Structure 1
Amino acid sequence: MRLREFRALAGRHPRVVDAGVAAALAAFCGLVLTGQTGATVTPANALDWASVVLVPVPLIWRRGAPGRAFLATIALLWISAGTGAQSPAAFLVSLVALHAVARYHPARYVWPATALCVLPALENRPAEGPAWGAFFAVAAATTAAALTGVNQRTRAAYLQELEDRARRLEQDRDQRARLAVAEERARIAREMHDVVAHHLAVMVALSDGAAAIEPAAPQRAAAVMIQVSATGRQALSEMRRLVGLLRTSSRTGDAGRAPQPGLDDIDALVERMREAGVRVSLVREGAPGDWGPAACLTVYRIVQEALTNILKHAGPHATAEVALRYSADGADVSVVDDGAGRVAGRPEPGDRHGLAGMLERAGAYAGHLDAGPRTGPGWQVHARLHFGAT
């Protein structure tokens, strides 16, 4: 059996181990009493054997009740000395009891217990030799046993602290992982809002346009409904991708997941809005940097949300201008509409999800966003995004 397995077994059955220690000490004291170890002793009597057997018994409880076991051991040693029973090795029993006090009790109990341990041991010191030499030998051995127990207790407390710290770090890591998942789900939820709001607004505008077409032009109405169908299929495709990201079960591969839109998809976005009836002009200045897909997605989503709000609140007869100005470290995004001649009002609290999403996207890149009614009719959105120099 390996040492680690033995320690695990001893940890599961501490009382059996302590009983084994007490039996081993009693056996050793018996060997010393009978002269088997080479020590010179007088013939043993029944009282001596009673002392050899009884003095180690309290050690069975040395871990469960170390203080009481120590006091019981010292009391038995004093009784043994008072009755004249000889037990030459009983001093070892007191050292084991003292070690248990130092190992399992606070430090304030150690040194008083050390003093109590020295006194009865002097009663059993060898008759030959200097008395003070025996005293210092006993004191040194007793102090060594106490210091050993204190060191083990300190080391055990240190290891326990390390285990607690590792456990806390593991819990903190798991909590951070859960927060990251929650943040990612919130981001995906914003993506879903943008996708649903935009495509539904386009589909509603196209449907209204098809309904307004005269019966004499069914081919034109059919063409508009084809655009409604295409927009619906695109919305379903993006919704499937986003809902797939929300599933907890992992899926192998990225098959069936369309790439996130970027700067190159803004032309198609503008074209869809034109087909829905909004007269949109697109102006670009400068060249975009190598900012990465997340930054390009942010620009796209801000333009998408702004145009969706135009279609939703101003209607398909509005006129809008999208201006994209690129620089080395970021982009200026401006979307302005005329409100179809109507003065825009402040949105209601329950209708500010799109605006909140744009604010969060701009804030993620240390930018700022201004959105609100124009001086005259219409609405304006301006975002300044900082992506860093490339």
Structure 2
Amino acid sequence: MRGRNRSGDEGRTRHAPRACGGGRVPSPEGRAGGPPWVRDWPGREPGGGVPWRSSLLLAVFVLVGSGFAARGQPDREPLDALARALLLAGPAMLLLRHRYPVTVLHGVAATALVYLGAGYPYGPVFLTIAVAVFAAIVAGHRYAAWWVLGLLWAGHLLVAHWLYRYLPPAGDGPAPWGQELPIAASVVAIVTLSELARVRRQEWARVRAERAAAEKRRADEERLRIARELHDVLAHSISVINVQAGVGLALLDSDPEQARTALTTIKAASKEALGEVRQVLDTLRTPGERGEAPRAPAPGLDRLPELVEQAASAGLAVEVTTDGTRADLPPGADLAAFRIVQEALTNVVRHSGSRTARVHLAYAPGRLDLRIDDEGPATGTDAGGTGNGLAGMRERAASLGGTIEAGPRPDGGFRVHATLPLRPTKENTP
């Protein structure tokens, strides 16, 4: 324009929360996207802290700069107490620019216009307007900022070119029209920079939302994986324990030796279940926190004989047949195949009246076919089951890009048929 912990648990170590996959939960600053100084932008989210540091620095600069500017403008009114109060009013209102950007913008513009109308020297007072406009535009109040700038410019034109004869200082003349060009350029620069900052802020908000959604999706997937593992481990082992407990109770008096065998089976099944549950829960720990390797590798089809033996201890005879050349499977496919067979046999023990089952493995290039059959009929009881077994099998197959079909056979009984694609990895290459 013109010219100790507070919970009272003293001996307890408290750990920061971790992601389900064992990684460290990022801090809010790390998820925000963009440089750290964006947290003190004039237009950051409402409700943030009071920007007193930047406002204090601006107040000092405006006061000192206006004092120097007054020396070169002897024809203007000297800086008195009212002038200094008006100069400080702008930075003082800017303390609330995060919470009330539009109101602050109107107040700062009105204060600057009163300062100009009173005939005080031109100078850094316009910086307060620039900061207020920046805060309003970055906060999303674009049209309000444009309107206020337009009204302020119109007020300046009235004061500088028409009302000057009625306003201090006495004897002042009209301002040259040539100075309006740099003023217009300054206004365009302020608006342009503010719009660019608004666009970047929206882009960072979008990236932040995408990262948060991705973290939530990964956490949900990890929780689902752990839920599947726990279901498969516990459902199988508890089914064996349930059957053997019934046998032991029935034979406790008539055949103590057979009852002892049932109790031995229960002990072995519960020990194995505890080991597998511990292994699943260990995946929740941060790698290296305990300084030890996993207790055991993830189960695969190499443990199929143990599964058959466990089923036999529950009174289920399992016949295993294989077609094709047996090949090493990728870890994910090997675990999924084992769990599908385990869940299918568990369902036979719990839901079928048949005491026999057939497991057929067919190895083909890039594919493994699993088929588990029993002769039925269904018993109509669920033995305390949760109904999540078939859903878990489908999720395991789908996670590998495979398919699974499960349902009654036309000739009676029940069949589970899974097709798992095999993606060779370097560690599985002979």
TM value normalised by structure 2: 0.66
Q: What does 1:92-171 align with in structure 2 at a 5 Å threshold?
A: 93-94=121-122, 101=129, 104=133, 105-106=145-146, 107-109=149-151, 111-113=153-155, 115-116=157-158, 118-119=160-161, 138-171=176-209
CA shift, 1:248, in A, is 8.6
SS at match of 1:281: strand
1 CA distance for matches of 2:177 and 2:235?
86
The residue aligned with 1:52 is: 78
The residue aligned with 1:236 is: 274
Q: Would the aligned equivalents of 2:330 and 2:422 in 1 still touch at CA under 8 Å?
A: no
The residue aligned with 2:42 is: none
Q: Amino acid of the residue matched to residue 274 of structure 1?
A: A
Task: Indicate which of 306, 327, 337 corresponds to 2:364.
Answer: 327
Q: Amino acid of the residue matched to residue 109 of structure 2?
A: G
TM value normalised by structure 1: 0.72
The residue aligned with 1:183 is: 221
Q: What does 1:1-390 align with in structure 2 at a 5 Å threshold?
A: 9-29=53-73, 32=74, 51-53=77-79, 57=84, 58-62=86-90, 64=93, 65-77=107-119, 93-94=121-122, 101=129, 104=133, 105-106=145-146, 107-109=149-151, 111-113=153-155, 115-116=157-158, 118-119=160-161, 138-213=176-251, 218-246=256-284, 251-255=289-293, 257-289=295-327, 291-314=329-352, 318-339=355-376, 342=377, 351-388=386-423
2 CA distance for matches of 1:278 and 1:387?
30
151-160 vs 353-362, which deviates more? 151-160
CA shift, 1:201, in A, is 1.2
Quick one: structure 1 residues 70 and 221, their matched pair in 2 at CA, closer, same or farther if it must change by over 3 Å? closer
1 CA distance for matches of 2:340 and 2:255?
36
CA shift, 1:94, in A, is 4.0
Q: Can you list the C-alpha shifts for 1:217-236, whole angstroms capped at 9, x where unaligned?
A: 64454344322211111111
Q: Amino acid of the residue matched to residue 161 of structure 2?
A: L
**Normalized per residue, which structure has more helix?**
1
Quick one: structure 1 residues 224 and 345, their matched pair in 2 at CA, closer, same or farther if it must change by over 3 Å? closer
Quick one: structure 1 residues 52 and 218, their matched pair in 2 at CA, closer, same or farther if it must change by over 3 Å? closer
SS at match of 2:78: helix
Quick one: structure 1 residues 289 and 25, their matched pair in 2 at CA, closer, same or farther if it must change by over 3 Å? farther
Aligned residue pairs total 341
2 CA distance for matches of 1:66 and 1:363?
61
Q: Amino acid of the residue matched to residue 150 of structure 2?
A: R
1 CA distance for matches of 2:295 and 2:368?
28
CA shift, 1:279, in A, is 1.1
2 CA distance for matches of 1:248 and 1:166?
29
Quick one: structure 1 residues 94 and 348, their matched pair in 2 at CA, closer, same or farther if it must change by over 3 Å? farther
Q: Can you list the C-alpha shifts for 1:3-44, whole angstroms capped at 9, x where unaligned?
A: x9xx99443454444333333333443xx57xxxxxxxxxxx
178-187 vs 106-115, which deviates more? 106-115
CA shift, 1:323, in A, is 0.4
Q: Amino acid of the residue matched to residue 20 of structure 1?
A: V
CA shift, 1:73, in A, is 3.6
Q: Can you list the C-alpha shifts for 1:179-208, whole angstroms capped at 9, x where unaligned?
A: 312321121112111111101111222333
Q: Amino acid of the residue matched to residue 353 of structure 1?
A: N
Q: Would the aligned equivalents of 2:319 and 2:358 in 1 still touch at CA under 8 Å?
A: yes
Q: Any stretches of 5+ residues in structure 2 without a counterpart? A: 1-36, 38-50, 94-106, 134-144, 426-430
2 CA distance for matches of 1:211 and 1:187?
36
Q: Would the aligned equivalents of 1:114 and 1:143 in 2 still touch at CA under 8 Å?
A: no
Q: Would the aligned equivalents of 1:26 and 1:56 in 2 still touch at CA under 8 Å?
A: no
2 CA distance for matches of 1:314 and 1:206?
16
Higher relative contact order (CA 8 A, sep 6+): 2
2 CA distance for matches of 1:101 and 1:211?
87
1 CA distance for matches of 2:288 and 2:417?
39
Question: RMSD of the alignment, in Å?
Answer: 3.9
2 CA distance for matches of 1:262 and 1:313?
24
Q: Would the aligned equivalents of 1:332 and 1:383 in 2 still touch at CA under 8 Å?
A: yes
Q: Can you list the C-alpha shifts for 1:227-273, whole angstroms capped at 9, x where unaligned?
A: 22111111111122223445699833344532211121112111211
2 CA distance for matches of 1:24 and 1:143?
24
Q: Would the aligned equivalents of 1:23 and 1:56 in 2 still touch at CA under 8 Å?
A: no
Q: Which has the larger radius of gyration?
A: 1
